[in-house]
Every structure is written in C-alpha cells, then in structure tokens.
Chain A
Amino acid sequence: MPLGKAIIWSPAELTKMCTVTPTDVRLARLWWRKHAPAKYRRLLDAQADRQVA
C-alpha cells in the first residue's frame, strides 16, 4: 500500500481535536482500564470525599 499523503489540519480542525468531549472521556476511561496495571485500573474512578461523604 502506498504511504499516501499526510493530513494537514486546519487551525479550526486542530481546535476541534483539542476539545475534550464526553465521548473522549468515555474512551479514555476504557483506555486507562486497558493499559493500567491491574492494581490501578479503577484509580481514576475515584470520587472526592466531600462528594460522597
């Protein structure tokens, strides 16, 4: 397969790519659980004590 062309992102596209959406957060949660050591897979699911106390 030929390499093809690189993508040139416009400033507007870059801005959109750098914006964090709820979908990004959902995917990143899965990403962390996939790659983190077993002991820390749920680390980022931590709730602040003052939220649940």
Chain B
Amino acid sequence: MGSGIRANDLTPGYGWNEDAGQYIDLNTGRFVSHAQIRSALDQTIQDAKDEIRDLARGLNEGWISLSDWQTRMAQEVKMIHLAAGAEAVGGWAQLDQRDYGRIGYELRWQYEYLQNFALQIESGEQRLNGTLINRALMYGESGRRTYEQIRRADMALREMNQERRVLGVADHCDDCIELAAEGWQPIGTLPPIGNSQCLTHCHCTFDYRQVLNADDLGGFGL
C-alpha cells in the first residue's frame, strides 16, 4: 500500500494515503473503500439526527425558544458540515484554508435557509408539527452534499477529469435515475448531490476517473 504507518496505542486506527486519496486501515494495511467511508458518514448523520429531532420537538412542545433553537441548529449544522468536509479530504489534519472556505460556502446558504425557516416558524407559515421536524432533519442530511462537493473539488485537484453519478442504497427519484444513466461526464458538470427532486434525502455519490485521451473511451458516457 505504500504506507509506512503502523497502528499502535498512540496512533489512530486509520491513515490517509495522500497519493491515492484514500484512507488506510492501519490494522490491515488495506485501503478503506469509498463506499465504507460514505456509509460511515451516513451512519454518523443518522445518529446526529436524534439531536436535531430533539431540538425540533423542544420547539414544538414549547421548552425551547425560537432563537435558542435557531442558534443550536446553526451550531449542529456547522459540526455536520465541518466533519463531512474533513472526512472528504482525509481527516482533520488534511483540512486546509481552501477546504475551510468551501465548507464556509456550503454553510452560508444553509444558514440562509435556516434563517428563512425560522422566520416562517415565527410567522406561522411553518406550523409546529411533524413537518417542522422533518424539515429540520434535512439540515442534518445536507452534510452529504458538503462531503460530495469537497471530495469533488479534491478529485479535480488530483486531475480527475470525469465523474459519474452512482445511485446509493435508497429509493431513487427520477432525477437521480436519469443522471446516473448519463454515465461518465466531464468533472463538475453533473448537478451536486441535493439538487435533485429528492433534495437532501439523496444517497447518491460520485465516481471519478482520469482520462488522458477521450478517444480512448470513444467519448463520454461510456
């Protein structure tokens, strides 16, 4: 695998192979598949959604004020997106200022949505019921988009020039099915995760590859 790292009590159980852009399980010396990494994120987000659900219930039941809820949601969203970004680039130690900027970009419009959400709650346009909880949970799920966007930028830096949408383990919306059917496309040209009909519920991911000469493949889409 080319890694000189070995696990012991003082080191993490995982390393990051910068050349391959992949995690290494230091106990086995093997690369950890992207599917496993995405699954870890999905499971983490699923667990964190309990806190978002509790906050929304608190708002519904009147034991937390709207401003407290908004502040705590903003903090939770930051944690989710920061961790998702770190996972995409190989861990905390690999995050750099460019990554922080990308994470901040994703956070900004999440916060703008959150503020609009809060204003709709204040006005009564968003009712205090289960729809509020379901809508709040979408902020947790949005971490998948950040993970995929940061990873996409990282792959472009690694001179990957094609991407394809891969359907995740979930029910698929028509948009995602159509996008997956497009096959390999120039990197950065397929819509980001979260822009389909299924919004933040999307479980799709991207594969990347480097094609030195498009003629080798007979053109895109293969």
Contacts and interface: CB of A to CB of B under 8 A. Distances in A.
A5 B40 contact: no
Nearest to A32: B83
Interface in A15-53: 15, 17-20, 24-25, 27-29, 31-32, 35-37, 39-40, 42-53
A6 interface: yes
Nearest to B74: A17
**Of listed A4, A19, A27, residue having the most chain B CB within 10 A:** A4
B40 A37 contact: yes
A50 B18 contact: yes
Nearest to A37: B43
Interface string B50-93: 00000000010011111100110010001110110011001111
Given A1-B62, A1-B63, A47-B93, A36 B16 contact: no
Interface in B127-157: 128
Identify the 9 closest CB pairs spanning chains A and B, nearest first.
A6-B118, A46-B91, A18-B104, A45-B12, A53-B4, A31-B79, A40-B40, A28-B82, A35-B47
Interface of B: 2-5, 11-18, 23-24, 37, 40, 43-45, 47-48, 59, 62-67, 70-71, 74, 78-80, 82-83, 86-87, 90-95, 100, 103-105, 107-108, 111-112, 115, 118-119, 121-122, 128
Interface of A: 1-9, 14-15, 17-20, 24-25, 27-29, 31-32, 35-37, 39-40, 42-53
